[in-house]
Amino acid sequence: MRALGWFTDNWQFSGITSVQSGAPFNPGCGLTSGSKGVTGGYTGTPDVGQRCLVIGDPLANIMPGRTFNPGAFAMPALATGPNNSIVGPPALGNLGGGAGVLRHPTVTNFDMTLTKAIPLGSEKRVLKLQAQAYNAFNHAEFSSENTGIQFGPTTNLVTNLNAVGLHTDTVKGSNRILAFSARIQF
């Protein structure tokens, strides 16, 4: 039994798990650059930007690799008059206020340490072998995604579908890091 104890005794495992929800946000909505026929602003003032019109569930029917469904948003319809002049009240859209309808990616991290103490004849003399793993499961940590939706001025369809809702950056230091050490304590 003493031989078995040499392998099974004096182990220590410790770790830190961090789980952080993503910050809330609202996607931005705008027309493609160079849109003709739309003058002035959607809101009638340069101090207030237009907001998206929510027309569906942004978390339903998400395409692979996306964080939200841009098809759930549209530009509010402009009340137009003669010669494409904007008439009527400002078109703000129904998105806004509060913290946001969507959340940025969550951050999940696992840091672990495994230590084996091997007695060397007495309690004072010990060989300690240690393995440390930072981001032990090598879980990708994304820090942001493309949240700006661009619409065609005449079709009100999403024109930047190949980029919107995709991750744009990973958190620095998110790769797995391993460290090993051996220490004699006397």
Average pLDDT on 71-75 reads: 85
Mean pLDDT for the chain overall: 79
Q: How far is CA 52 from CA 29, 95, 96, 137, 148, in A?
A: 5, 5, 8, 38, 10
Asked which of 9-18, 89-98, 162-171, 173-182 is least confident by mean pLDDT, the reply is 89-98
The H or E element containing residue 150 is strand 148-151
Whether this prediction's pTM lies above 0.85 is answered by no
E strand segments, 11-104: 11-20, 24-25, 28-31, 53-54, 73-74, 102-103
- Would you place residue 161 in the very low, low, confident or very high pLDDT band (cuts 50, 70, 90)? confident
pLDDT above 80: residue 146: yes
Q: Between β-strands 11-20 and 24-25, what pairing exists: parallel, antiparallel or unpaired?
A: unpaired
Q: Is 163 exposed, middle or buried, given 0-12, 13-18 or 19+ CB atoms closer than 10 A?
A: middle
Q: What is the pLDDT of residue 37?
A: 47
Q: Where are the domains of the chain?
A: 11-185
Q: Which helix (H) or strand (E) holds 104?
A: none
